[in-house]
């Protein structure tokens, strides 16, 4: 009746306040009638981590726009939940880009 569940959390040793990340919003594109699809990347965004814990991170880009990223929204995470409307891909992280 119950099955084991694996929970994926952010590594707060790397993704912490002051880290610089590059990410992009992605969109699912249907390829054919059999249901095969691919993720199409949007523009790349550089942002600073403003808040971080194991469940989500809040980042802000140079224009002051904030994004809240959760592991279940990341296409490169095994726990991707496709029911979310926004999906992202983290492309790179520079830990401690800004020191407190």
User: How many CB atoms lie under 10 A from the CB of residue 42?
Assistant: 12
Domain span at residue 31 reads 20-94
The answer to whether position 74 is within a domain reads yes
Average pLDDT over residues 62-83: 89
Strongest mean pLDDT among 31-35, 37-41, 63-67, 77-81: 63-67
| Residue 84 within a domain | yes
The number of distinct structural domains making up the chain is 1
d(CA 53, CA 12): 6
User: Does 76 map to a domain?
Assistant: yes
Phi, psi angles (nearest 5°) of residue 77: -115, 135
Query: Which among 3, 48, 47 is positioned nearest to 24, based on CA atoms?
Result: 47
Tell me whether residue 12 is in a domain: no
Residue 9 maps to a domain: no
pTM of the model: 0.82
Which pLDDT score is estimated for 50?
95
């Amino acid at each position: 009746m119950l099955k084991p569940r694996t929970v994926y959390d952010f590594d707060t040793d790397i993704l912490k306040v002051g880290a610089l990340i590059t990410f992009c919003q992605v969109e699912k594109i249907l390829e054919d009638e059999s249901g095969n699809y691919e993720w199409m990347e949007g523009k790349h965004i550089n942002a600073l981590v403003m808040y971080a814990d194991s469940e989500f991170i809040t980042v802000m880009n140079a224009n002051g726009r904030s994004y809240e990223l959760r592991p279940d929204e990341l296409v490169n995470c095994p726990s991707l939940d496709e029911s979310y409307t926004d999906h992202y891909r983290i492309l790179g992280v520079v830990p401690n880009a800004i020191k407190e």
